Amino acid sequence: MAALEDTNSTNFLGGQLIAAVGRDGNEQMFPLAWAVVKGENNESYEWFFKQLKMSIGEEDGHGMTIISDQHQSIVTMVAQEFPRAEHRHCARHIFANWHKTYKGEYMKMMFWSCVKAYNEADFTDALETLKEADPKAAEAFLACNPTLFCRAFISNHTQNDVIVSNMSETFNAYIINARSKHLIYMLEDIRTSIMKRLVEKKMDMEGSTHVVCPRVQERLEIEEDKASTCKVLPSKPTLFQVQDGIDGLTVDLEARTCTCKKWDLTGIPCSHAVSAIFSIHGHAEDYVSDHYYRYRL
């Protein structure tokens, strides 16, 4: 299932517009539910999450990933209504608070190096670099609980490496004109806009000639370009040792894993996996997770 994200925006008549925005197979916005409530409080979020739960037919959140800011009402309601869901915290919100104290482009780079590392070894290396630059900054980073927002620690069951709630900003930008209207007209404008969008996206996908969704194809082509620098040594028909610069990695095509963990987390073959696939004259598209295909196989 695509990652689920939460967003909010204020309506000029008062109250709060809150929404749950999913991510489709083309890695684009797929709004699931939206509603106007009194405010961002436990009562409003409890009502919204119960309605969302009934709408999507989820019982306990198993197989679901939710990304949100650290608003306590959201944290509480996710634990209450979707106890088995993976709840990631938005790294961008955490960075905004952390960066108020530890400023500068270098510190920014160090933060995101830690956050974007796909495996624990790379995370540890990035964290050590941060500690050398500023031990207190590293201590503050660890206090934010990296297991909730760093790629090295998030689950791969949804095969999505998203660690920011950028879909909420996409949804807010999409409805910006509607938000200036009277409540009833605003909601109707959002409904018809989303209805039209779903049809247009479906038509776009039907017009594509790729096996997988276009945006995923673009990501795959980037990995294919990187694969040219890798050296492949077969160990078994589906098991390979891949040398990428000074790094030696193991790729298992049958298990669809690579020790870099990027393929495991995204469902899209990394450059190491692509190099192994090419060595047996295979097609990288055949090894993409099936929820990225234009049509279910």
Q: Tally Cβ neighbours within 10 Å of residue 44.
A: 20
Percent of the chain scored above 90 by pLDDT? Answer: 81
pLDDT at 183 over 50: yes
| Plot region of 159 (φ>0 → left; ψ -120 to 50 → alpha; else → beta) | left
Backbone angles phi, psi at 164, to 5 degrees: -130, 150
End-to-end CA distance of the chain: 16
CA torsion angle for 65, 69, 71, 77 (degrees, to 10)?
A: -10
pLDDT at 149 over 50: yes
DSSP H or E stretch at residue 4: strand 4-10
Q: Which residues make beta-bridge pairs with 18?
A: 8, 35
Helices (H), the chain: 42-56, 72-81, 91-98, 105-116, 120-133, 135-143, 166-174, 183-207, 214-227, 262-266, 271-279
- Interval 71-98: pLDDT, tens: 899 999 999 999 999 999 999 999 999 9
Token pair listed for 77: 């309601």
Token pair listed for 251: 């790729």
Give 228's Cβ-side CA count (13 Å radius): 5
Q: Which is more confident, 200 or 2?
A: 200
What is the distance between the alpha carbons of residues 265 and 119, in angstroms, rounded to a whole number?
Answer: 10
pLDDT (0 to 100) of residue 248: 96
What is the distance between the alpha carbons of residues 19 and 35, in angstroms, rounded to a whole number?
Answer: 6
pLDDT at 52 over 70: yes
pLDDT (0 to 100) of residue 13: 60
Q: What is the pTM of this model?
A: 0.89
pLDDT (0 to 100) of residue 180: 84
Q: Which residues make beta-bridge pairs with 86?
A: 65
* Averaged pLDDT of the chain: 92
- Interval 116-140: pLDDT, tens: 999 999 999 999 999 999 999 999 9
Give 88's Cβ-side CA count (13 Å radius): 27
pLDDT (0 to 100) of residue 1: 36
pLDDT at 205 over 70: yes
List, by residue range, all CATH 3.30.420.10 domains of the chain: 1-89+156-207
CB 34 within 8 A of CB 28: no
What is the average per-residue pLDDT within 10-37?
86
What is 1-89+156-207's CATH superfamily? Answer: Ribonuclease H-like superfamily/Ribonuclease H (3.30.420.10)
pLDDT at 3 over 90: no
CA torsion angle for 33, 148, 273, 285 (degrees, to 10)?
A: 0
pLDDT (0 to 100) of residue 295: 76
Collapse the DSSP code of 153 into the 3-class scheme (helix H, G, I; strand E, B; otherwise coil) and give the result.
Answer: coil
pLDDT at 11 over 50: no
Instruction: Using pLDDT thresholds of 50, 70 and 90, give the confidence band for residue 58.
Output: confident
Q: Which is more confident, 68 or 5?
A: 68
Beta-carbon contacts of 88 under 8 Å, excluding residues fewer than 6 positions away, are: 3, 65, 66, 67, 148, 149, 154, 162, 163
Q: Which residues make beta-bridge pairs with 19?
A: 7, 34
What is the average per-residue pLDDT within 21-34?
93
pLDDT (0 to 100) of residue 12: 54
pLDDT at 9 over 80: no
pLDDT (0 to 100) of residue 6: 47
Beta-carbon contacts of 96 under 8 Å, excluding residues fewer than 6 positions away, are: none
- E-assigned strand segments in 207-258: 231-236, 239-244, 247-252, 257-258
pLDDT at 8 over 60: no
Token pair listed for 147: 């297991």
Longest CA–CA separation in the chain, Å? 66
Q: Which of 120, 121, 91, 125 is nearest to 108 (CA)?
A: 91
- Interval 228-274: pLDDT, tens: 999 999 999 999 999 999 999 999 999 999 999 999 999 999 999 99
pLDDT at 293 over 80: yes
pLDDT (0 to 100) of residue 101: 97
